[in-house]
Amino acid sequence: MLFPLVVLSIGAVAAGFVFNGYFVGHHQEEFWRGAIFTAPSNQVLHHAHEVAEWVKWSPLIASLIGLLIAVYVYLIKGNERLGLKLAERKGPLYVFFYNKWFFDELYDATFVRFAKFLGDLFWKGGDQKIIDGLGPDGVSAVSYEVGKRTGKLQTGYLYHYAFVMLLGVAGLLTFALYAFR
């Protein structure tokens, strides 16, 4: 996976240089036309440079502290027992980091459950009950029931068929006498 990622990253950086003028060049207001908010001139960048020095240095210091802790635990101590002991305690910080800041649980509670509920509603309620129920499944169910009930009319005896034909002739004669009176 390393080689494809390197190729993609080189392509992304090159595309950024080539198309920079089209997206963030001197015509950016005309291009975006209010589609996104753009800060007026360089005020945001100017204010970013005026923050306190500790704000600028804090990401680097936090990274160095983490690096020093990792060096102490895994290189200076020279074994994995210290890391194993920290993991076996299962303290709140360990649980928090082990569960990836509970980001998956938050994402699940925020987006996944509602999307699954909505998908089930449209699938079971809309597709299965309404579309399939009134469409192919409903037509085949009605056809099956009609066939099952009319199948009981067929007994296989000749005198039953003759009787039904006699009833049909009597019905046609009644209709003809009534209609052509």
The answer to whether residue 176 sits within a structural domain is no
Lowest mean pLDDT among 1-15, 31-45, 160-174: 31-45
pLDDT at 41: 64
Query: Can you tell me whether residue 181 is helix, strand or coil?
Result: coil
> Could you give the CA distance from residue 172 to residue 181 in angstroms, rounded to a whole number?
14
Query: Can you tell me whether residue 155 is helix, strand or coil?
Result: coil
Please tell me the total count of domains within the chain.
Answer: 1
> Could you give the CA distance from residue 132 to residue 138 in angstroms, rounded to a whole number?
7
pLDDT at 49: 79
The answer to whether residue 21 sits within a structural domain is yes
Residue 137 pLDDT greater than 80, yes or no: yes
Reported as a pLDDT band with limits 50, 70 and 90, residue 135 is confident
Residue 7: domain span: 1-38
- 20: CB partners within 8 A, 6+ apart: none
The answer to whether residue 106 sits within a structural domain is no
Q: What is the mean pLDDT of residues 54-71?
A: 93
The answer to whether residue 24 sits within a structural domain is yes
The answer to whether residue 173 sits within a structural domain is no
The answer to whether residue 13 sits within a structural domain is yes
pLDDT tens readout for residues 139-166? 898 999 999 998 888 888 899 889 999 9
The answer to whether residue 171 sits within a structural domain is no
Q: Tokens standing for 86? A: 């920290």
For residues 74 and 83, the answer to whether their CB atoms sit within 8 Å is yes
Lowest mean pLDDT among 109-118, 128-137, 172-181: 128-137
Q: Tokens standing for 26? A: 């001197």
Residue 25 pLDDT greater than 90, yes or no: no
The answer to whether residue 163 sits within a structural domain is no
